[in-house]
Every structure is written in C-alpha cells, then in structure tokens.
Amino acid sequence: MRRFLLAALLAGCGPKSGGTGPAAVEYAVTRGDITPQVLLSGEMDAVDSEALVAPQTPTWSLSISWMEEDGVPVKAGQKVMEFDSSALGTRLVEQRLQASQAASELDRTLADNAVDLAGKRFEVARQGLMLEKAQVRAAVPEDSLARREWQERQLELARVTSALSAAQESLATAEESARLAIDVRQIAMDKTVREIETGERAFESLTLRAPRDGLMLVADHPWMGRKLDVGDETWPGTTMLRLPDLTRMQVKATLPDVDDGRIAEGMKATCVLDAWPDRTFAGTVASLAPVASKVSRDSLRRNFAVIIELDEHDAEVMLPGMSVRVEVEGRAVNDVLLAPRAALDLGGEVPRARKANGSWVEVQVGICDAQVCEVLQGLADGDRLRDRRGA
C-alpha cells in the first residue's frame, strides 16, 4: 500500500550524494490510505464526584480565608475550607443587640399596657358600683319622694349608666390597642430572632467539611483559568471543592479551534499518562463541545472541550489532574497520493518536497500522520524523492 517503504530499503540503488559518499535514501510517491492522528492534551478526571459549593449567606459575596491543599486525602467531617466571617460576625453582633432592644421594648410595652388597663378596669368597676347605688336610689317609688328628688335620682341613674358604658368602651379600646402594640413588638422581636438563627446557621456554613472520606480536589476558578485560591471572591452555589469517585475515570482534553472538524464523537483514542509513559489506555471520544470557549477571560485562544471515555480503569495509577497525552484516530482517507514526511519541508511558509535529484518543489499537503502526508498538488504517482536533510 505504501510502496515508498520498499524504495527506502533499496537506498543503495539510488543516486549517490557526491559520487563517493553513501547512497542517498530515496522514496517514492505512492497511492494509499491514511488515518490521521490528532494529538490532544488533557488531564484525568472522575466521571462522578461530589461537589462542595459556596453557601448562601446574607452577605452574598464570600472570600476564601483558608483551604486545604489540593489533592490531599481527607476524612469525613474534616474541615477543608473556610470563608471570611468578619462581615457576618459583625452582622450577628448587631442583630443580637437589636433582639435585646426588641425584648426590652416588648417588656416596657407590656408594663405600660398593664398599668393603663388596670386603671381603666378600676374605672369600670367604680362606675359599676355607682350604677348599683344609682339603681337602688332610683328604685324608690315616685310617690314616696318629692317629685324633684325622684327626677334627680332618675337623671343620676341615666348619667351613671352612660358613664359605665363609656368606661367599658374605653377599656375595650385600650385592650385592643394593647394587643396590637404587643403583636407589633412581638413580630419585630421574632423577626430579629429568626435573622439571628439564619445568621448563626450561615456562620456555621462558612466552614466546609468533607462529607465522606476521599481525595479533595480544588475546583477551577470560573473565569481566571486556574485553581481557586485563598483570597478569591465567590458567590453562593459556586463549586469550591470536589470529592471524586476514583473507580470511574475519564479524560478531559481540549481541541484548539484551528483544528475544528478534525475529530468527532465516536472516534477511537489512545491515552498515555505522563506519569506512566509505558502504559496506554484505549478510549472513545464521548463528547465534543459544539462551541469553542476561551482558555481564560483575557486570552484570545479558544478550545473545544473534549471528553474521552476510557475502556479500562485503574485506580492505582489514575488520579484526577494527572496530565494525559491523547492520540485520536481521525477519519481514514483512502486511495490518495502519499509522500513520506522525511522528504517534506513543512516548516516554511509554503510546504516543499525534495526530489531525488536534489531540487525542491512546492507542494500542497492535506492530512498527515507520523510517517506520511497526503499530497494534493505538486507531485505525481511514482515521483522519486529524497530525504530533506541529505546533501
């Protein structure tokens, strides 16, 4: 399929590089098939992980004051991150002072209402006694008294009855006002108490603890292109730490936007861990982001996020964050002109091929793998080439 390999083996039959020196290695342009290899860089990542997020607090924005080192093993319940609590602590002190003031105002309102209501109840009782007295006096028959005195007793009875009714209405109004005033004070105090309880829970939530034993990983900053660090500002719901499941791993890789279209979901891949260069792990492109994203907020470079699903998992050698080199087998191209890379100069502005006679010819190349490149223009089937580094 690649007859130029045979031509390379027959180097002794080719032209000499000076008449007396060693024979120059010759190659032949042939037709054949090529499966390009797309190289990606990535890192190991867990398929599943438990996220620890920034808590929701009344202060909203939070600043990291302390955190455990990235990649260390932790135990369940162990403290792994703390947020700055100064603002929330000051707020709690103020709320406790407000609660104390609200309780004092409630007590004062209760005392004032008790005194006021006691006076009004006494007045109702006094008017009731006066009414009983007026009723007794008004019950004397008219013919037993002078007409003027009898009339005065009837008027007194009407006046006392009216006074008692007014005192009762005043008491009822005072009781309703007292109830409303107490309700207002009680609502204010209950609100302050609830705010304190919420603040205390928020204060406790400023310390993140590991929910289980595992390996703690610091999450990436949302836009800075690095890991979160002490002093960074964050907001509720932001993932701060992760506890990965080390039994199922995958590779998170990136494809530069200039290579858009060179790989697709379902393509086979070979992964090599930088820490274990002698081992390879087969996988498949499981997902490819439809849109390229910036490497960082201020970067002009964009990459497509690629997920490689591994066929094999080895928890003893695979750890999240380990660098991985990925070779993806691209789409095979059949029956095309192929020239060996050894005879091509791809480092200049225009690719060139070195012919057997030592001259150079400009060529247009397509896809390449480690040994050969597809030739689109500039060469024909059977052309003889020589090593670009020869004399």
pLDDT band at 23 (very low <50, low <70, confident <90, very high): low
The rounded mean pLDDT for the chain is: 87
Predicted confidence (pLDDT) per residue in 294-348, tens digit:
876 777 788 999 999 999 988 888 988 899 999 998 778 889 999 999 999 988 8
pLDDT at 350 over 80: yes
Predicted confidence (pLDDT) per residue in 265-292, tens digit:
999 999 999 999 999 999 999 999 999 8
pLDDT at 144 over 70: yes
Q: Which CATH number among 1.10.760.10, 3.30.565.10, 2.40.30.170, 2.60.40.10 corresponds to the domain 40-84+214-329? A: 2.40.30.170
CB atoms within 10 A of CB 77: 11
Predicted confidence (pLDDT) per residue in 186-211, tens digit:
998 899 999 899 888 888 999 999 99
Between 25 and 94, the higher pLDDT residue? 94
Between 166 and 316, the higher pLDDT residue? 166
By three-state DSSP, how is residue 171 classified?
helix
Average pLDDT over residues 81-90: 90
pLDDT band at 71 (very low <50, low <70, confident <90, very high): confident
CATH class belonging to 4-36+332-386: mainly beta
Q: What is the DSSP string of 253-312?
A: EEEEGGGTTS--TT-EEEEEETTEEEEEEEEEEEEE-SS-EESSTT---EEEEEEEEES-
What are the residue ranges spanned by the domains of the chain? 4-36+332-386, 40-84+214-329, 87-205
Task: Tell me if 26 sits within 8 A of 247, measured CB to CB.
Answer: no
CA distance 173 to 176: 5
> For residue 364, which amino acid is it?
Q
Interhelix angle for 147-205 vs 86-138, to 10°?
Answer: 170
By three-state DSSP, how is residue 341 classified?
helix
pLDDT band at 17 (very low <50, low <70, confident <90, very high): very low
CA angle 91, 94, 100 (to 5 degrees): 140
Average pLDDT over residues 164-168: 93
Evaluate if pTM is beyond 0.95. Answer: no
The per-residue pLDDT for 347 is: 83
* Residue 269 C-alpha from the chain's centroid: 29
Q: Which of 281, 291, 288, 250 lies closest to 267 in space, CA to CA?
A: 288
pLDDT band at 24 (very low <50, low <70, confident <90, very high): low
Using the CB atoms, write b or e for 243-269: b if 16+ within 10 Å: bbbbeebbbebbbeeeeeebbeeebeb
